[in-house]
A and B are shown apart, each in its own frame.
Chain A
Amino acid sequence: MKDPHRGTVIHPRARPFAGDAYAEEPKRPESFRKPVTATIDGQSVTVEAGTTILQAAQILGIYIPHYCYHPALSIVASCRLCLVEVEKSPKLVPSCSTPVGEGQVIFTRSDKAKRAREQQMQLLLINHPLDCPVCDQGGHCQLQRYSMDYGTDDSRYRFPKRTFPKPNLGPFIDLERNRCILCTRCVRFLEEIAGNAELAVMKRGNDSLIGTFLERPLHGEFSGNTIDLCPVGSLTDKVFRFRARIWELEAKPSVCPHCAVGCNILLDSRRRTHELLRITPRTNPDVNGPWICDKGRFGFDFVNSRLRVRSPLVKRDGELKPPADGMDVIEYIVAQWKAIRDRHGPGALAGLISPRKTNESLYLFQRFFRKVIGSGNIDHRMDRVGLEDEDGYLYSIRIGARNDPVGEVRKAETIFILGSDLPNELPILNLQIRQRLRHGATLLVAHHQGGSYRDLAARYCAYHPGAEMDFLAVLFFLLVQEKNVGFPGSLIETYRDFNSAAVANRCGVAMEALQNLARALANASNATLLLGEEAWAGADGIQTVRAFADMARAMGLFNENDVGINLLLRHSNSRGAIEMGVLPHLGPGLSPADPKGKNTHRILQAAAHGELKSLFILGEDLIARYPDRALAEDALKRADFVVVADTFVHDTARAAHVFLPIATFDEIQGSYTNVSGKIQQAERVLVPLSGTATPLQLLQALARRFGAEWDTLTPPAVFDILRRESHPALPPNKMADYLPFQIRTENTEPVEGLCLQRGPLLFDRTGDVIRTPALSARSQPCTARLSPEDVGTLGLSAENSIVVESPGGRVTIPFIMDKNTPSGSVVILGEYDDLGINRLTSRGNSRVRIIQEGE
């Protein structure tokens, strides 16, 4: 039977062996610096000098078996499976490490080569337990495959097999050393690509084993890739282990829902049990290469959670309960909304949607509110308080910013990051930056706290929290001097009475460090400038973007098309939400909105004052996410009618009058736009859990009851419409001259208490993470980082937790002394939905008091 929802199915066994598809495109012979011609199995091939025999054979379509060789890793030639015969060479040579020589005659399938492979397979299998029936790799194991293709039927080994103790490497990865063939792919990946050599070969000879330091669990962000790299069943997926056999799975292409890079992934599901079972990377050289981070790989089990709501819930007697028999929930919602609209006008309704939903959902959401309800009160920005509709990102689009961080980083020789702790925000971009550094690129970082790049960056400047603008002002001033371009006329007013030393002092960076950074930037070739959300989303966001763009201009990073600045986003479809026009003042394609409306903050304020009567929140736990928690709580309490649509019942849902369960990312077909503006399609893997609906179905059902004709809108149909309507009319470079910006002149006066700093953390504990056992086990405990001076002044003892207190509430958490935290600050990273850290930042507060627990 033909299933319209099946789409592209990639059979697991038809998949290329992990990473093999990542080999670079073979170059065309005319571009070779020095060509060499050789004969492999009777076929002549011309390659560039230095190409190995294995690569040359690949060009001819001749497959040479290999375990330790991987195109993305260094070559060790330890597995000896790729041995080939070369005429006139007395011994066989490893083809993965031997460059092709002029006139060489190579045989990959001669009797001698075949026999060597047979022998080698026997040696590799001497200690292998042959426990294929209970091994998770069974069915996609290179050891099985090569045993069939190149091995012998029998082993001559008659002695006891060597065994090793089994370590615990944490919640993600299972290491079974007895199956290991010591190809060291995992060791090389972690050392060369991930940048933290957590695995190493311990001991020697027959006792050699793969291990971690003191058998500690793995802590990196990319350890999951070693599962794909392991050619045998030694490193297996602890989450997927024993849940299915590989041939039961159906893999479909999708896009990772976690961060704004939008890594390409394959979702492995089993339809018989309606389960999403595994996520593996889908190689895309333009986005993620062959890798994904651990959060993306293991962060999916919430979709299988039993806590998922399977029917609409309606509030009765102060509690959410399944609707009474015969009640049509959609009809009920529409009736309520119509009544509110009739009584108070369409402006009394507002909608907030998560920027992690598909373009199709986002597009229909704004269309539903603007065209069907007639209200412009929509926004997608729920994780920051923005008083103005416009923010730094939108401004950057207006001046024609390049905004292609993923593409830019790939070819950069100098990377400057301002205001982002990138490894915790966009991990795969961090991986690419590390790869660039290995190729000799320079990393320059300015950030307000002890960020992850402190040790890696060639220059690292830590400015005072919130002092991005001061920092940039001095940096630009010094950069112009270094560049010797002449001071731009349009900025003379900006820099009147400018005292660089005083401003540098105010932002807390030594003049010398700024000078060095400016020099490095001035001398940089092929530079990429990245601006983090912390910098562009702040109160000075637009000014920061202006100064940043001026910097790009001074560095010559502009052309007629764009200005070479790249702003970073956090959520998987933040860019899509902007382009789809889920903004109070901008419609699809950044056209002026009709009607205009209120932004998140204004919506919540109006609701808290009783002016706005109804809220529709789709896909986000607003109370847990919004920095002004008290305002969000007030708004939801005061509003007459709140509808929340999400996967689980959370704090926001409990405040709702109606809760609608929606499908998870694997059950939705749609497109996502990544941080670089690349639109990527995700296929539906499973049908939505019974009782749930996709956001698209939900919006259509609502619109239909309002009388709108939306019946035929399938995801592809919506995509067609939005492609026509919302194609972002990206303005070309609008920067004719340097943009004047404002430098704050007033000194920030010291206030009582400590300044609370928030920031992203990769392994934190949001609602979905709490319901994903593996990710929950990996999540870092919530801690407050304090400077040693403050710990001393406050007389804190590390044995007990501390109470962090503000007018909005208090949380009790452990603290760690961190010498990179500036004195006067307390840093709490990550979202912890179970703790409600955002209580502390209620009412725009950023000062906290700290006392030892129990005092």
Chain B
Amino acid sequence: MPTIAEAAAEEARAILHRLPNRHSSSIPLLYLAWKTCAWLTPAALEEIAALTGLSPATVEGIAGFYTMFPLHPRGKYHIEICDNISCYINGAPDLKNHLRNKLGIEFGQTTSDGRFTLDHVECLGNCCEAPCMQINGKEYGRLTVQKINEILDSLD
């Protein structure tokens, strides 16, 4: 795995130069590490700590605050299903159960073949099509059990 310094030294330097203090540089650097390392590896967190002068624990705390930062490797397809109010009353709890059973994993986990990672997501701003989910950023609305099956089957 390339380090940030190896893969994107220029960008990292630009971030540290552009932003006023070490705390403010940490989030752009986390994005950078995500891009270069595919997920936020412990080594990447330590490297950001060394670059910003923050402690590794603080960097992990910052990364962990934002649930979209991947602190574990993700599968090929990242399924995020919304369970906020509109989706909830339109049947999200049943769909969540269906996804768990179908994939055989809990929320936050990845299938053993590395294809699917299942996560909750807060409101996707698509309540008119509730219940909805997104896979790798692409949104799917008006979900039913059957529709979910079709979507998953259509993925290679």
Are B57's CB and A203's CB within 8 A?
no
- Which residues of B42-95 have CB atoms within 8 Å of chain A's CB atoms? 42, 45-46, 54-61, 64-67
Cα A271 to Cα B131 with chains together (Å): 67
Closest chain-B Cβ to A434's Cβ sits at a distance in Å of 14
Kindly name the residue among B45, B54, B58 whose own CB sees the greatest number of chain A CB atoms within 10 A: B58
- Which residues of B16-51 have CB atoms within 8 Å of chain A's CB atoms? 42, 45-46
Closest chain-B Cβ to A228's Cβ sits at a distance in Å of 21
Kindly name the residue among A191, A203, A204, A211 whose own CB sees the greatest number of chain B CB atoms within 10 A: A203
Question: Which listed residue (B45, B66, B67) contacts A213, Cβ 8 A?
Answer: B45
Cα A204 to Cα B42 with chains together (Å): 19
Contacts of B57 in A (CB 8 A): 197-200, 211-213
Question: Which listed residue (B42, B46, B55, B61) contacts A202, Cβ 8 A?
Answer: B61
Contacts of B56 in A (CB 8 A): 213-214
Contacts of B42 in A (CB 8 A): 213-214
Contacts of B58 in A (CB 8 A): 191, 197, 200
Q: How big is the A interface, by class? A: 10 to 19
Contacts of A198 in B (CB 8 A): 55, 57
Closest chain-A Cβ to B5's Cβ sits at a distance in Å of 17
Cα A211 to Cα B57 with chains together (Å): 8
Contacts of B61 in A (CB 8 A): 200-202, 211
Query: A196's closest neighbor in chain B, by CB?
Result: B55
Are A197's CB and B64's CB within 8 A?
no
Contacts of B60 in A (CB 8 A): 200, 202, 211, 213-214
Contacts of B66 in A (CB 8 A): 204
Cα A413 to Cα B72 with chains together (Å): 46
Kindly name the residue among B56, B60, B61 whose own CB sees the greatest number of chain A CB atoms within 10 A: B61
Task: Given A213-B45, A213-B60, A214-B42, decide whether A204 and B65 contact each other with a Cβ distance below 8 A.
Answer: yes
Cα A359 to Cα B58 with chains together (Å): 46
Cα A214 to Cα B56 with chains together (Å): 9
- Which residues of A175-217 have CB atoms within 8 Å of chain B's CB atoms? 191, 196-204, 211-214
Closest chain-B Cβ to A7's Cβ sits at a distance in Å of 43
Contacts of A191 in B (CB 8 A): 55, 58
Query: A209's closest neighbor in chain B, by CB?
Result: B64
Closest chain-B Cβ to A213's Cβ sits at a distance in Å of 4
Contacts of A199 in B (CB 8 A): 57
Cα A474 to Cα B122 with chains together (Å): 65
Are A204's CB and B64's CB within 8 A?
yes
Query: B66's closest neighbor in chain A, by CB?
Result: A204
Closest chain-A Cβ to B34's Cβ sits at a distance in Å of 18
Query: B65's closest neighbor in chain A, by CB?
Result: A204
Contacts of B65 in A (CB 8 A): 203-204
Contacts of A212 in B (CB 8 A): 57
Query: B49's closest neighbor in chain A, by CB?
Result: A213
Are B55's CB and A200's CB within 8 A?
yes
- Which residues of A697-754 have CB atoms within 8 Å of chain B's CB atoms? none
Closest chain-B Cβ to A567's Cβ sits at a distance in Å of 33
Are A204's CB and B67's CB within 8 A?
yes
Interface string of A364-384 (1 = CB under 8 A from B): 000000000000000000000
Contacts of A197 in B (CB 8 A): 54-55, 57-58
Closest chain-A Cβ to B9's Cβ sits at a distance in Å of 20
- Which residues of A625-656 have CB atoms within 8 Å of chain B's CB atoms? none
Query: B55's closest neighbor in chain A, by CB?
Result: A197
Are B64's CB and A213's CB within 8 A?
no
Closest chain-B Cβ to A739's Cβ sits at a distance in Å of 42
Closest chain-A Cβ to B70's Cβ sits at a distance in Å of 14
Closest chain-A Cβ to B88's Cβ sits at a distance in Å of 17
Are A203's CB and B55's CB within 8 A?
no
Closest chain-B Cβ to A35's Cβ sits at a distance in Å of 35
Closest chain-B Cβ to A194's Cβ sits at a distance in Å of 11
Cα A198 to Cα B60 with chains together (Å): 11
Closest chain-B Cβ to A533's Cβ sits at a distance in Å of 31
Kindly name the residue among A191, A200, A201 whose own CB sees the greatest number of chain B CB atoms within 10 A: A200
Interface string of A108-138 (1 = CB under 8 A from B): 0000000000000000000000000000000
Cα A191 to Cα B56 with chains together (Å): 12
Interface string of A302-333 (1 = CB under 8 A from B): 00000000000000000000000000000000
Cα A387 to Cα B58 with chains together (Å): 51
Query: A218's closest neighbor in chain B, by CB?
Result: B57
Closest chain-A Cβ to B3's Cβ sits at a distance in Å of 17
Cα A211 to Cα B59 with chains together (Å): 12
Cα A202 to Cα B65 with chains together (Å): 7
Cα A511 to Cα B57 with chains together (Å): 39
Closest chain-B Cβ to A491's Cβ sits at a distance in Å of 42
Closest chain-A Cβ to B22's Cβ sits at a distance in Å of 12
Cα A506 to Cα B59 with chains together (Å): 43
Cα A202 to Cα B55 with chains together (Å): 13
Closest chain-A Cβ to B79's Cβ sits at a distance in Å of 20
Cα A197 to Cα B58 with chains together (Å): 7
Query: B56's closest neighbor in chain A, by CB?
Result: A213
Cα A197 to Cα B65 with chains together (Å): 17
Are B64's CB and A202's CB within 8 A?
yes
Query: B67's closest neighbor in chain A, by CB?
Result: A204
Contacts of A201 in B (CB 8 A): 61
Cα A191 to Cα B22 with chains together (Å): 14
Cα A212 to Cα B55 with chains together (Å): 10
Cα A611 to Cα B95 with chains together (Å): 94
Query: A195's closest neighbor in chain B, by CB?
Result: B55
Cα A200 to Cα B62 with chains together (Å): 9
Cα A198 to Cα B64 with chains together (Å): 15
Closest chain-A Cβ to B119's Cβ sits at a distance in Å of 13
Cα A213 to Cα B63 with chains together (Å): 11
Kindly name the residue among B46, B57, B64 whose own CB sees the greatest number of chain A CB atoms within 10 A: B57
Interface string of A537-574 (1 = CB under 8 A from B): 00000000000000000000000000000000000000
Contacts of A200 in B (CB 8 A): 55, 57-58, 60-61
Contacts of A196 in B (CB 8 A): 55
Closest chain-B Cβ to A844's Cβ sits at a distance in Å of 42
Contacts of B46 in A (CB 8 A): 213
Contacts of B54 in A (CB 8 A): 197
Closest chain-A Cβ to B51's Cβ sits at a distance in Å of 14
Query: B60's closest neighbor in chain A, by CB?
Result: A213
Query: B54's closest neighbor in chain A, by CB?
Result: A197
Cα A567 to Cα B45 with chains together (Å): 41
**Other A-B pairs beyond A203-B65, A204-B66, 8, CB < 8 Å:** A191-B55, A191-B58, A200-B55, A201-B61, A204-B64, A204-B65, A211-B60, A213-B55
A-B contact pairs, 25 of them (CB 8 A): A191-B55, A196-B55, A197-B54, A197-B55, A198-B57, A200-B55, A200-B58, A200-B61, A202-B60, A202-B61, A202-B64, A203-B65, A204-B64, A204-B66, A204-B67, A211-B61, A212-B57, A213-B42, A213-B45, A213-B46, A213-B55, A213-B60, A214-B42, A214-B56, A214-B60
List 6 A-B pairs, minimum CB-CB distance, nearest first.
Answer: A200-B61, A197-B55, A213-B56, A200-B57, A213-B57, A202-B64
